[in-house]
Amino acid sequence: MQVEPTRLVELAEESESILAMMADDWNAALPALSAACDDLGDAAGVLELSTAYADSLSDAGAVVAALAETLAAGVTGLVDAAQDALRADDAVAAELDHAAHQVSHQVSQQVSRQHPGHGAGGPGEGGR
């Protein structure tokens, strides 16, 4: 299974915004919920409910943090792999360049040995 890094970033951002909306919704609903429970004489119920919701928000926050941490490690791995590939490409290019120069030099020497006068000076130069 292949997952695009940009999609992981989008999911992490969506998770964070959902968590923020949950916290905002809770902060907006808590006063009305507290008043209703006070009217019913159940202040302990509000405390239990708010504790449970706070625990849920904390758990969701931990999940988002773990996702962000994993995402960061994945992105770091991708960057490292890309840098390694570039270094390998550079090393291969340097080796190929070196080999091409060696082959060119060897071919030039063989041509000079087999056909004197066709060497570096060119035909007809340097004789008379």
The pLDDT tens digits of the residues spanning 14-45 come to: 877 887 887 788 788 878 877 777 777 777 77
Instruction: Work out the end-to-end distance of the chain between its first and last CA atoms, rounded to an integer number of angstroms.
Output: 75
Q: What is the reported pLDDT for 95? A: 87
Residue 96 C-beta-side C-alpha neighbours within 13 Å: 6
Whether the Cβ atoms of residue 105 and residue 97 lie closer than 8 Å to each other: no
Q: What is the reported pLDDT for 126? A: 47
Whether the Cβ atoms of residue 22 and residue 60 lie closer than 8 Å to each other: yes
Q: What is the reported pLDDT for 74? A: 75
Alpha carbon distance 29, 67 (integer Å): 28
Percent of the chain with pLDDT over 70: 87
Alpha carbon distance 1, 8 (integer Å): 13
Rounded to 5 degrees, φ, ψ at 109 are -65, -40
Would you kindly state where each structural domain of the chain is located, as residue ranges? 5-114
Specify the pTM.
0.43
Q: What is the reported pLDDT for 120? A: 52
Rounded to 5 degrees, φ, ψ at 36 are -65, -45
